[in-house]
């Protein structure tokens, strides 16, 4: 008996003193057998529970559930595709930008039935707040280039175009009263300034070629489809209203199936 009791599985040590002491040795063998048989399975289940609570969560008013999941500070295993990782700060939930060190998207709401969500491109607000800044190039990205391949900007949105123009190009474009162009606060002395136009319909080619302005770098930012006829001076409000995105489920991620196999 001494050799067996010197290496019993943990579980057996815990339950054996009460249950086994008055019983026969065959009972103990049976318990050893049961413990050895169940221990690996119990460890797997325990590890799975330690790994992550992947149930639906709320962040502010937004429900976060599969395929979306909430990031936590601990180095836990992800609950799903990294493309659907949501960070929650206070009541603000956001999706990351696919461009490193770039602000992502604030989520306004998610429709799980329609596979869609409304979001705000946070990077644009930061750029537009930095008025009178002559610091070297801001990250001035098209919203579409910040989205990973599973997200798509819905064609029902309209667009706003921000132009970073040289002083002469801006003066020229404004003099021509070019299709509702308006100044933003952003400028750098007489080196460059940022203009904006709104009400630009979705271009399936993604080129927006007819809206190009010579001497200006342009970026396209989706705004609500309901913004038709909006005043370009209200560009910040329009960006804050968010735009509609749709998503596709990630194909490869199989956590759910592996979990249910373990529990079965």
Ligand X SMILES: *[C@@H]1O[C@H](CO)[C@@H](O)[C@H](O)[C@H]1NC(C)=O
Applying CB under 6 A, which of residues 39, 71, 138, 250 lies at the interface with ligand X? 138
Q: Of the ranges 17-25, 49-57, 76-84, 128-136, which one interacts with ligand X (CB under 6 A)?
A: 128-136
100 binds ligand X (CB under 6 A): no
Q: Of the ranges 23-31, 64-72, 88-96, 150-158, which one interacts with ligand X (CB under 6 A)?
A: 88-96
Applying CB under 6 A, which of residues 207, 248, 256, 262 lies at the interface with ligand X? 207
CA distance 146 to 103: 9
218 binds ligand X (CB under 6 A): yes
140 binds ligand X (CB under 6 A): yes
Which backbone phi and psi does 254 adopt, to 5 degrees?
Answer: -125, 25
Which backbone phi and psi does 189 adopt, to 5 degrees?
Answer: 40, -125
Nearest-approach distance from CB 235 to ligand X, in angstroms: 10
Applying CB under 6 A, which of residues 155, 208, 225, 259 lies at the interface with ligand X? 208
Q: Of the ranges 13-21, 70-78, 86-94, 168-176, which one interacts with ligand X (CB under 6 A)?
A: 86-94
61 binds ligand X (CB under 6 A): yes
Query: Binding string to ligand X for residues 12 to 41, with x set by CB under 6 A, is what?
Result: ------------------------------
* Closest to 68 measured CA to CA, from 91, 90, 95, 48: 95
CA distance 219 to 140: 7
Q: Which residues bind ligand X (CB under 6 A)?
A: 60-61, 89-91, 108-109, 118, 129-131, 136-138, 140-142, 145, 164, 185-186, 192, 194, 206-208, 217-220, 231, 233, 241-242
């Amino acid at each position: 008996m001494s050799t067996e009791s010197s290496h019993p599985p943990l579980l057996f040590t815990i339950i054996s003193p009460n249950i086994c002491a008055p019983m026969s040795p065959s009972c103990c063998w049976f318990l050893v057998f049961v413990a050895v048989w169940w221990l690996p399975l119990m460890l797997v289940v325990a590890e799975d529970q330690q790994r992550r609570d992947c149930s639906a969560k709320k962040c502010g008013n937004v429900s976060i559930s599969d395929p979306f999941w909430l990031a936590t500070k601990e180095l836990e295993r992800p609950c799903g595709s990294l493309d659907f990782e949501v960070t929650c700060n206070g009541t603000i939930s956001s999706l990351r930008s696919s461009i490193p060190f770039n602000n992502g998207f604030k989520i306004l709401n998610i429709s799980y039935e329609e596979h869609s969500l409304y979001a705000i491109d946070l990077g644009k607000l930061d750029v537009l707040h930095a008025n009178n800044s002559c610091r070297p190039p801001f990250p001035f990205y098209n919203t579409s280039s910040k989205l990973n391949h599973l997200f798509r900007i819905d064609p029902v949105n309209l667009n706003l175009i921000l132009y970073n123009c040289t002083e002469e190009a801006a003066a020229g474009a404004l003099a021509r009263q070019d299709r509702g162009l308006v100044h933003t606060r952003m400028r750098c002395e007489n080196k460059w300034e940022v203009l904006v136009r709104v009400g630009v319909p979705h271009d399936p080619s993604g080129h927006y070629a007819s809206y190009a302005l010579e001497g200006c770098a342009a970026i396209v930012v989706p705004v609500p489809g309901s913004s038709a006829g909006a005043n370009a001076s209200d560009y910040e409000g329009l960006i804050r209203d968010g735009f509609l995105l749709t998503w596709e489920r990630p194909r490869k991620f199989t956590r759910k199936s592996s979990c249910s196999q373990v529990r079965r």
